[in-house]
Structure 1
Amino acid sequence: MESFGARRGRRARPPRRRASLRAALALVAVAGVTAGGTVYVKGRARPAAVAVSSAAAPTVTASAGAGEEASVREPATADRSALLSAAMAQVEVPPGARVSAAVLAPGSGESAVYGDASFDTASIVKVDILAALLLQAQDAGRRLTAPERAYATKMIENSDNASATALWRTIGRAAGLDAANARFGLTETSGGEGGLWGLTRTTAADQLVLLQQVFGERSKLSAASRTYLQGLMKSVEPDQRWGVSAAAEGTSWALKNGWLPRGTTGLWDVNSIGRVTVDGTDYLVAVLSDGTASQARGITLVEAAAKAAVGVFGDA
């Protein structure tokens, strides 16, 4: 179920803590460890998040003779963002519509981003709302209550708006979401004012940071919290299993979609975030779009962008 904001105009307020993607990807080497081994990353380190680069780690070789310095051999690497830009040039974007995509391969630490514009979240913010609730519960040393769990299930699996509104109030609305996101490392996301959670603003790159909190071990969320949230994202109802899942193999995905018709223009926001698995490799993918004439056209655009994003890892 999704109908939030159908008669609301676009909120003009720019996101708080807005930071340019270029600044977020400034060249600063940071080392981190994932399930796939050591990951070398570039970008300003965000709290409990990994800002990744398309560069592989350099290889250090021992010197042949005693007293000689070790040599560093830089391997050939692919510019994933350049590949993604080329792939997106082949995606049909309707006149007046916009799309942005971001993808991360957690095992290697390589990533690609296309576009740095801000978009309405629509219902993909429901993942963020639940992540904030779980973080608050951890801080309080408690489990979610039975009503909270019931709301969470309906909010993620069925995209129920009333449940989202109930949990939005529980976390403290925009202020609560923004406080959690500051700890998660999101810098380009700003909670919607009042009850307008669907008008939260974000970028595709920031959604990768959120997805790392949901699926990565270097997270503010406990293993139990991550497993719980992942399970709900693997169980969305059948008519909502579109979006980034188009890039996955079979049922190897966990996702949340958002769709929102704008009352002032009649145009649609259509978004999708999640994890997909292709050839045994996991990818975190976020695709945001707006300005399509219908939800169906938005879904087509988002799915084409998701395939393009994951596809850039097949050539190098």
Structure 2
Amino acid sequence: MSYPRHIPRSKCVSRASSRAGACAGVLLASVTALVSLGGMHVAPAVAAPAPSPSAQSHATAGVNATKQRPSKVRVTAAALSLDGGSRKPLLDGEDAPYDTASIVKVDILATLLLQAQDKGRHLTAPERALAEPMIRNSDNAATNTLWREIGGASGLGEANKRIGLTSTKGGPGTKWGLTQTTASDQIRLLFSVFDGATKPKTDSPLNKDSRAYIRTLMTRVADDQAWGVSAVSRSDYALKNGWLQRTTTGLWDVNSVGRVTVDGHHYLVAVLSDGNVSMRDGVSAVERAAGRAVTATTRT
């Protein structure tokens, strides 16, 4: 199985320069693939998580992918203001299932933390040594190990019931990157992590330390990971990206989820896409969609 490389660090701007929100290669991305999104609409409210009880992303990609089929790009964006009282994210596009690619790594870490909480313990040093590169560097080998530890799709599904996800299904066997999810479910997951960051009370099944740990890793992603929803925020953001070239079509899934701060206001943003002719085009489409989603949310 072949693994496409991350965007080379040498091609990335510094964190300060990433206030433009992307790698240099992304800034030069083709804008010829126009993305047609549906009208803005409000998604169902983020469900309160159930009471707590006492391969893959850029990994299954094919460098030896088959010849590309004609591209038909899909993009769905969701945004939710953390400053208001609503749990209803604004959606742009159809809230349909997409491959997660590496954004599932946030869900895997949340599951690992919930399982540790149930046992009344913190993560072990070896678990942290895997969790940190999984989020900060999108390390696939670390993810493989943690996917097995949480019990794969079954363990992920049990945790997601408690978090309140309704449309996320773990990938088959070892293929965690083929987990299916929706933009609104990703907002629910982000809400379980970032709710309570600006106010003391939350009903997330993740405890205070678990939420803080995930947030910290998402705010410290490596420079070559700083693209996607971060383009909206310029400097203050927490994110996780995912990308996958499908071997059956040669086309790319490109996703980005996270929390951004714009003019002092905090937003959760999830953008999912597939059918991109290249990763660069996918990144450009995701960043444009993220900007539109946040702008529309500020107007509601």
Q: Report the TM-score when normalising by structure 1.
A: 0.71
Asked whether 1:113 is paired with 2:97, we answer no
| Correspondence for 2:80 | 104
Q: Among 96, 101, 106, which residue is 1:122 paired with? A: 101
Q: Which residue type is aligned with residue 233 of structure 1?
A: M
Aligned residues between the structures: 236
Seen in structure 2, the aligned counterparts of structure 1 residues 271 and 44 have a Cα distance that, compared at 3 Å, is closer
Alpha-carbon distance in structure 1 between the residues aligned to 2:170 and 2:186: 13
1:138 corresponds to 2:123? no
Q: 1:44 to 1:264 in 2, by over 3 A?
A: closer
Distance 1:257 1:197, change over 3 A: same
Compare the two structures and name the one with the higher strand fraction.
Answer: 1
One-letter amino acid matched to 2:253: D
Q: Secondary structure at the match of 2:187?
A: helix
Q: 1:295 aligns with which of 279, 287, 293?
A: 279
What amino acid is the match of 2:283?
A: I
CA contact (8 A) 1:191 1:197 kept: yes
State the 4+ residue runs in structure 1 displaced beyond 6 angstroms.
Answer: none
State the Cα distance separating 1:116 from its structure 2 match: 1.1
For 2:129, give the aligned amino acid.
Answer: A
Shifted more, 210-219 versus 188-197: the winner is 210-219
Deviation of residue 46 (structure 1)?
3.6
Q: Residues of 2 paired with 1:184 and 1:153: CA distance?
A: 21
TM-score (norm 2): 0.75
Partner of 1:279: 263
Structure 2: distance between partners of 1:44 and 1:262 = 30
Equivalent residues of 2:76, 2:272 under 8 A apart: yes
Listed one character per residue, the Cα deviations across residues 182-239 of structure 1 (whole Å, up to 9, x for unaligned) are: 1100000000111000000000000000001111132111111111111100111101
| Counterparts of 2:46 and 2:81, CA distance in 1 | 18
Which residue in the other structure is 2:163 paired with? 184
**1:245 and 2:230 are equivalent in the alignment:** yes
The alignment partner of 2:79 has SS state of strand
Structure 2: which amino acid aligns with 1:278?
V
Post-superposition shift, 1:313? 3.1
Asked if the contact 1:3/1:260 (under 8 Å) is kept, the reply is no
Q: 2:192 aligns with which of 213, 229, 233?
A: 213
CA distance in 1, matches of 2:96, 2:249: 19
Q: Does 1:236 align with 2:215?
A: no
The amino acid of 2:244's aligned partner reads: L
Deviation (angstroms), 1:48: 5.4
Higher relative contact order (CA 8 A, sep 6+): 2
User: What displacement does 1:45 show?
Assistant: 4.0
> Any unmatched runs of 5+ in structure 2?
5-40, 52-69, 197-201
Deviation, 1:145, is 0.8
2:253 corresponds in structure 1 to 269
Give 1:95 shift.
5.1
SS in 2 for 1:266: coil
What secondary structure, in the 3-state scheme, does the structure 1 residue paired with 2:122 have? coil
8 A Cα contact 1:3 1:261, kept in partner: no
Map of 2:34 onto structure 1? none
User: Secondary structure of 2:78's partner?
Assistant: strand
Once the two structures are superposed, residues 59-105 of structure 1 have per-residue CA deviations (whole angstroms, 9 ceiling, x without a partner) of xxxxxxxxxxxxxxxxxxxxxxxxxxxxxxxxxxx950100010000
- Cα distance in structure 2, aligned partners of 1:44 and 1:176: 22
Of the three residues 212, 223, 226, the one matched with 2:208 is 223
Deviation at 1:132, TM superposition (A): 0.3
**Equivalent-residue separation in structure 2 for 1:254 and 1:44 (angstroms):** 20
For structure 1, the residue ranges without an aligned partner over 5 or more in a row are: 5-21, 26-42, 50-93
Distance 2:248 2:212 in 1: 39
The answer to whether the 8 Å contact 1:270/1:290 transfers is yes
Q: Percent identical across equivalent pairs?
A: 58
Q: Which protein shows a greater Rg?
A: 1
The answer as to whether partners of 1:104 and 1:285 remain within 8 angstroms in 2 is yes
| Counterpart for residue 140 of structure 2 | 161
Deviation at 1:174, TM superposition (A): 0.5
Report the aligned-residue RMSD. 2.1
